[in-house]
């Protein structure tokens, strides 16, 4: 017996059931039961009990929160496991049990040393230029070397690049006044994260130079390579041995260095005529967060935070007087000049055209046709005001029918269009406005794929670093400039405690 299909369901209604004899009705009920069971089982599927990828799990469901358990260590005691089992079996929702295991190297685990010692190809001396006490200029002669360290740096060549090992020597000099001055590696800000054993300090006294550090950050963030894949890549292709910890540090450092740049970009958003806004879910240490993006023609700013309105006011300040292009999220509604993304509405209407309730499907088709025709008319026949007026009246009428229909999704769509009418048709009266929010959705694509690979960030610092790097990279792409030379410059200055250079305007 074949399962009921759409055509069968369309033909069934109250009158049909009433017309049936009891034994036939039981048969129909049995068929419907089979279908319902099948659909219910399908709905229960997630990444835990099927081969469905975790990216398709509902971000709001509590099952998502239990995910880290599957990664819990083998060494977890048997008692803890039984306790967890009891919790799972009880009717109450189990609290997420955090593994006591920290990420990274475990205490007592075997360490890895450098297989080959570093060999310097170039020596870079650093002399003190001025007496730190009396400000007198100091000569470079008769200096005494007191410390040195190796730096691996990436050097561009005519057809490519190579990684060189530099030895930085620091000198000390005694002034006529008797004061002794040391040349020292530059130092920048220190970033503290609660519970972290070692704080992140921006300094020049590190193994990886700013250009190589930026290169590593590009592999991690732009090319979405994992820390261990970057390690493998550098080892295989550049004979450069780096630990995954060092690689991770480079990526965070580049991101943190870009934070002050983003503040400048946020200011530049405020003077735009049209600003696209969108958000997608994100995980920070397994908890549900949101990744926001604000895009203009020349600037893009990303931010990871809650879904509250405050996050929005960071991106769109009260001084912003331009147009917002958004989806239907309620936090956007207070802004007076707004274009609602029509593509979102079209997608919802497309879904309704395929439903079993034929009346609802027909009204959905009308809404869909009117929305599409309205966009096409504004694009190609702007001057036909009569047609434009007619289409709007027709769309309103279809929505009016939809509001009164029994089908819930159709009702919701019709109300959505009615309640936000001015924002839905803003592009009709302001042809410079795009009717869709594709710019913002495209800008989020990269991060959505990264989320599917890496499951988000671990700390608020990681979120800041990641969103800042995304902002700088995407803005550079919009302005058609190389993001990496700029980021390397920003990182080099941040390691000396200096402010970033102004963001290039581009072409
Ligand atoms: Zn002096």
| Cα of 472 from ligand 1 centre, angstroms | 43
CA 181 / ligand 1 centre spacing (Å): 8
Total length of the chain: 507
CA of 171 to the centre of ligand 1 (A): 16
CA distances from 83 to 65, 88, 94, 111 (A): 18, 9, 11, 34
**pLDDT at residue 333, as a whole number:** 78
- Residue pointed to by tokens 């209407």: 349
End-to-end alpha-carbon separation of the chain, Å?
Answer: 66
Tokens 């996050």 correspond to what residue? 311
Q: What is the DSSP letter of 208?
A: B
The phi, psi pair for 188, rounded to 5°, reads -115, -155
25: Cβ contacts below 8 Å, ≥ 6 apart: 17
- Split at pLDDT 50, 70, 90, the class of 65 is very low
Ligand 1 centroid – CA 496 distance (Å) = 23
Mean pLDDT of the 16-43 span: 91
For residues 319 and 335, what is the distance between their CA atoms, to the nearest angstrom? Answer: 11
Give the closest residue to 1 by CA, choosing from 34, 26, 46.
34
Ligand 1: centre distance to CA 175 (Å):
5
Residues 347-381 pLDDT 10s: 888 888 888 888 888 999 999 998 898 888 888 87
Ligand 1 center from residue 140 Cα (angstroms): 14
How many Å apart are CA 327 and CA 333, to the nearest integer? 10
Query: Which letter, b or e, does each residue of 196-216 get, where b requires 16 or more Cβ atoms within 10 Å of its Cβ?
Result: eeeebebbbebbbbbbbbbbb
Claim: this prediction has a pTM higher than 0.85: no
CA distance 475 to 297: 9
Neighbours of 315 (CB within 10 A): 19
Over residues 458-499, the pLDDT tens digits come to 888 888 899 999 999 999 999 999 999 999 999 999 999 999
Residue 499 confidence (pLDDT) = 92
Question: Regarding beta strands 300-305 and 287-295, do their DSSP bridges make them parallel or antiparallel, or are they unpaired?
Answer: antiparallel
């Amino acid at each position: 017996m074949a399962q009921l299909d759409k055509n069968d369901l369309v033909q069934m209604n109250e009158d049909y059931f009433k017309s049936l004899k009891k034994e036939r009705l039981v048969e129909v009920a049995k068929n419907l039961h089979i279908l319902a069971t099948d659909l219910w089982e399908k709905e229960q599927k997630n990444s835990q009990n099927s081969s469905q990828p975790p990216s398709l799990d509902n971000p709001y469901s509590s099952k998502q929160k239990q995910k880290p358990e599957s990664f819990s260590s083998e060494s977890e005691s048997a008692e803890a496991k039984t306790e967890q089992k009891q919790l799972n079996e009880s009717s109450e929702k189990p609290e997420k049990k955090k593994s006591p295991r920290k990420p990274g190297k475990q205490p007592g685990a075997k360490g890895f040393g450098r297989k080959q010692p570093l060999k310097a190809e170039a020596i870079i001396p650093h002399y003190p230029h001025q007496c730190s006490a009396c400000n007198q200029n100091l000569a470079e002669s008769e200096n005494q070397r007191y410390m040195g360290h190796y730096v691996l740096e990436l050097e561009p060549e005519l057809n490519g690049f190579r990684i060189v090992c530099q030895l930085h020597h620091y000198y000390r000099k005694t002034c006529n006044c008797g004061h002794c001055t040391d040349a020292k590696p530059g130092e920048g800000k220190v970033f503290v994260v609660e519970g972290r054993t070692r704080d992140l300090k921006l300094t020049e006294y590190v193994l990886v130079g700013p250009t190589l550090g930026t290169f590593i950050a590009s592999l991690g963030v732009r090319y979405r390579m994992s820390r261990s894949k970057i390690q493998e890549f550098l080892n295989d292709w550049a004979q450069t041995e780096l630990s995954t910890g060092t690689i991770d540090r480079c990526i965070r450092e580049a991101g943190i260095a870009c934070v002050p740049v983003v503040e400048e970009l946020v200011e530049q958003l405020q003077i735009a005529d049209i600003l696209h806004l969108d958000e997608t879910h994100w995980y920070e240490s397994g908890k549900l967060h949101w990744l926001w993006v604000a895009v203009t023609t020349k600037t893009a700013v990303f931010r990871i935070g809650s879904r509250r309105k405050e996050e929005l006011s960071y991106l769109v300040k009260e001084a912003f007087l331009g147009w917002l292009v958004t989806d239907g999220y309620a936090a956007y509604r207070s802004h007076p000049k707004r274009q609602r993304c029509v593509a979102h509405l079209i997608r919802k209407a497309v879904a309704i055209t395929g439903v079993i309730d034929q009346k609802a499907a027909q009204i959905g088709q009308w809404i869909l046709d009117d929305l599409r025709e309205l966009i096409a008319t504004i694009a190609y026949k702007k001057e036909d005001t009569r047609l434009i007026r007619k289409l709007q009246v027709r769309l309103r009428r279809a929505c009016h029918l939809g509001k009164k229909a029994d089908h819930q999704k159709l009702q919701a769509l019709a109300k959505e269009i009615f309640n936000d009418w001015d924002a839905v048709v803003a592009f009709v009266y302001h042809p410079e406005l795009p009717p869709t929010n594709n710019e913002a959705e495209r800008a989020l694509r990269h991060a959505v794929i990264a989320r599917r690979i890496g499951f988000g960030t671990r700390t608020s610092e990681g979120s800041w670093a990641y969103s800042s790097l995304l902002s700088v990279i995407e803005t550079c792409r919009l302005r058609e400039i190389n993001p990496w030379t700029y980021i390397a410059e920003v990182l080099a200055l941040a390691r000396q405690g200096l402010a970033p250079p102004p963001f290039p305007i581009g072409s």
